[in-house]
């Protein structure tokens, strides 16, 4: 939580022209319906919109530096943005096809899998090994001792973790579209609203699991090699306009690793410059957005 609070402060310093206090007509936050992502959204917004002299609501308390900001969410069954955990026959089918193409890699790691089962005393499959890599990252981040068998095999575990992640979520564009196409559609919708003047909003914040972020990277082709984001990583989509009122999109990224340089990295998408005219951006993503999770999730028969 401290990491996300600090990230909120970082964003405040990065975008000093944002309204200094929370205003529901100018800032809006939405999270997937999971405790971890809800807490992350709350901490970022708290860092962004701390209390001012006029908005301190309690004196002489540990809470005097906290200003509660509402976070919206919806149950997975009716969430139109973060639907990865909803039942989706097509995604299951695509993941099965991806894993079938990855059998040779699995077999190469049979001996290592048995070694990890014995050391961890957990019944693991190849596609569970990522959990040990995650455990190492979490333990290290919190100053805990990383178990020796994990530490001695960390490089191998992280390699498998990346393979697990890619095969499960990013192997095909169709997987990425099912996972992140709804979020991409929201971005385009809000660009249109801002340009048309139908909203005063300056900030939309979305908090979800890492595969939503990676799905966006895959759909936008921001990199030839997509690795699993670090905890608290973020993509920022800036809508800019020039003196002639032409609108552009610029995408920035922060992986949020410990001791990472305190600047945002500018990303480019395939087919456009780093500062991309908004109409060009919309044309590039028109076949990658999702307006109906239910239609995308219908099984494909061969």
The pLDDT of residue 87 is 85
**Greatest CA span in the chain, whole angstroms?**
67
Please report, for residues 158, 177, 227, 264, the alpha-carbon distance to residue 230 in angstroms, rounded to integers and kept in the order given: 12, 21, 9, 14
> Which comes out higher in pLDDT, residue 130 or 260?
130
**How open is the CA angle 152-163-88, to the nearest 5 degrees?**
135
Backbone angles phi, psi at 28, to 5 degrees: -150, 135
What does the pLDDT average to over 286-290?
95
Decide yes or no: CATH 3.40.50.1240 for domain 2-85+172-285: yes
Q: What angle do CA 77, 161, 122 make, to 5 degrees?
A: 85
Tens digits of residue pLDDT in 257-280: 766 666 789 999 999 989 999 999
Do the Cβ atoms of 121 and 70 come closer than 8 Å?
no
Contact 16, 265 (CB under 8 A): no
Dist. CA 128–CA 122, nearest whole Å: 10
Helix (H), strand (E) at residue 248: strand 247-254
CB atoms within 10 A of CB 288: 19
> Hey, what's the torsion of the CAs at 85, 90, 96, 101, to 10 degrees?
-120
Does residue 76 carry a pLDDT above 90? no
pLDDT confidence tier of residue 302, bands split at 50, 70 and 90: low
Distance CA 81, CA 163 (A): 25
pLDDT tens-digit map of 13-57 = 999 999 988 999 999 999 999 999 999 999 999 999 977 767 666
Q: Give the torsion sign (CA, 173, 175, 178, 182).
A: negative
- Global pTM reads 0.89
Domain boundary assignment for the chain:
2-85+172-285, 102-170
């Amino acid at each position: 939580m401290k990491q996300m609070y600090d990230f909120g402060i970082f964003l405040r310093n990065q975008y000093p022209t944002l309204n200094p206090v929370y205003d529901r007509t100018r800032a809006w936050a939405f999270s997937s319906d999971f405790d971890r992502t809800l807490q992350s959204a709350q901490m970022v917004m708290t860092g962004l919109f701390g209390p001012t002299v006029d908005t301190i609501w309690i004196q002489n308390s540990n809470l005097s530096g906290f200003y509660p900001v509402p976070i919206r969410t919806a149950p997975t069954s009716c969430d139109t943005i973060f639907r990865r955990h909803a039942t989706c026959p097509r995604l299951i089918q695509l993941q099965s096809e991806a894993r079938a193409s990855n059998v040779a890699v699995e077999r190469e790691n049979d001996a290592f899998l048995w070694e990890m089962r014995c050391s961890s005393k957990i019944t693991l499959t190849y596609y569970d090994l990522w959990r040990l890599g995650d455990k190492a990252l979490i333990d290290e981040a919190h100053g805990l001792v990383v178990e020796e068998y994990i530490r001695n095999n960390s490089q191998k575990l992280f390699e498998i973790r990346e393979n697990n992640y890619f095969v499960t979520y990013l192997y095909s564009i169709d997987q990425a579209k099912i996972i992140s196409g709804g979020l991409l559609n929201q971005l385009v919708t809000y660009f249109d609203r801002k340009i048309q003047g139908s909203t005063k909003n300056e900030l939309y914040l979305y908090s979800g699991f890492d595969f939503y972020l990676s799905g966006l990277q895959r759909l936008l082709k921001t990199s030839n090699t997509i690795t699993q984001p670090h905890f608290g990583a973020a993509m920022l989509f800036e809508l800019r306009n020039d003196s002639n009122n032409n609108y552009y999109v610029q995408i920035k990224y922060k992986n949020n690793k410990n001791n990472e340089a305190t600047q945002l990295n500018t990303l480019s998408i395939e087919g456009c410059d780093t500062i991309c005219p908004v109409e060009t951006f919309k044309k590039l993503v028109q076949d990658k957005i999702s307006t109906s999770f239910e239609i995308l999730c219908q099984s494909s028969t061969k």
